[in-house]
Amino acid sequence: MIITRLIGGLGNQMFQYAAGLALAKQHGVELTVDLGGFDQYSLRRYSLAHFALEPRPAPQDALSTAGSSSLIARLRRKLGIGYGCAYTIYRETSLRFNNEFKKLPNNTYLDGYWQCEAYFSEFTDAVRQAFAFRTPASGINAEWLAHIRGANAIAIHVRRGDYANNPKTFQVHGLCSLDYYHQAALYMEQHANEAPEFFIFSDDPDWAKENLKLDHPMHFVTHNNAETDYEDLRLMSACKHQIVANSTFSWWGAWLAKSEEQIVIAPKNWFASEQLDSCDIVPHDWIQL
């Protein structure tokens, strides 16, 4: 059995699940998930319920011998209560892809973010099946989906939120500049064949509306919220092309897309901090500006 720890927002949880699924497939064993971190993490919630995957929670006796951060598991370890086989606890040490991951044994507990396609590139079909949308689009999301499928649709993701409002977060992540979005849009105009329509997704739609000015039809998709973020992900992935922010959310919006003529543009600097090496995060066939 492989246990993967889920924590963070939707994009991070998808990376963690995908890496765990690949390792479980490699060994021909079951993948289970540790959700204990959400017990003390009020900023985010478990967000994978609207996908086809059906994760089984890791057994408590396994978590007590592994690295679970849940209160129950920590108490069991402190009291010496725990049965079953010991687990290899493998914690991510950097953002670079580590090929040792693929040599990990069965009965491994994964603790990290695994923000690199190489961790699951040999099992992309299984990952895509897991992240198929279980919940059908309805109402206004169904209307947007039909519009997108009938257009030369280009998704633009503008991530701000805590990147803009939290000084410590800003120092780590930074923000994609307006010049980045304008250059990316120009590239799409020159290479995306038909006349493009831009569909803008943002956690700060007012800022995007006020600042992002393009010479083609622009549609601001603003009706979804944190509870329905998977709907934005579905709409982004339905677009033919994507301009992503330095965000795992828009990373997955681009990766899940199925257009054969797809162009994906990503920022050259994924992090503002020079101490973070992000060269393995952006797939090699994406264009970086």
Cβ atoms of residues 200 and 158 within 8 Å: yes
The domain locations on the chain are 2-130, 139-288
What share of the chain in percent tops pLDDT 70? 92
Residue 221: partners with Cβ closer than 8 Å, 6 or more residues away: 144, 199, 200, 201, 232, 235
- The tens digit of pLDDT for each residue in 102-148 reads 999 999 999 999 999 999 999 999 999 999 999 899 999 999 999 99
Residue 9: partners with Cβ closer than 8 Å, 6 or more residues away: 44, 47, 248, 249
Which residue reads 């329905």 in tokens?
Answer: 228
> Which CATH architecture describes the domain 139-288?
3-Layer(aba) Sandwich (3.40)
- The tens digit of pLDDT for each residue in 190-203 reads 998 888 999 999 99
